[in-house]
Amino acid sequence: MKTQINLKVDMDIKTKAQQVAKALGFSLSSVVNASLNQFAKTGELHISVVPKMTPYLESLVKEARKDFNKGKVSGPFKTDKDFIKHLNS
């Protein structure tokens, strides 16, 4: 069952929040619902529009940095076909 909450928020804050929510593909209502749901479950509140790497992506970046520091680099490639051939090898 849904219920309604009335909040007093400065108009400029509401407008900015709606713009950010829309840019992320959400309605402001869904952002508030998700925030309250997470807060109710964990007692914590984390909000960010900054992209965050997954642990898997972090491990790939770490591995790539090690290879780069060891001088293990590919290219330059003369053509895109050479690059694709290298990727498939």
Q: What is the largest CA-CA distance in the chain?
A: 62
Q: Is residue 16 part of a domain?
A: yes
How many domains does the chain contain in total? Answer: 2
Q: Domain span at residue 78?
A: 55-88
Q: Is residue 14 within 8 Å of 28, Cβ to Cβ?
A: yes
Q: Is residue 18 part of a domain?
A: yes
Q: What is the mean pLDDT of residues 28-36?
A: 93
Q: Is residue 4 part of a domain?
A: no
Q: Is residue 30 within 8 Å of 21, Cβ to Cβ?
A: yes
Q: How confident is the model at residue 47 (pLDDT cuts 50, 70, 90)?
A: confident
Which pTM does this prediction carry? 0.49
Q: Is residue 68 part of a domain?
A: yes
Q: Is residue 47 part of a domain?
A: no
Q: Is residue 17 part of a domain?
A: yes
Residue 8 CA to residue 50 CA, distance in Å, equals 27
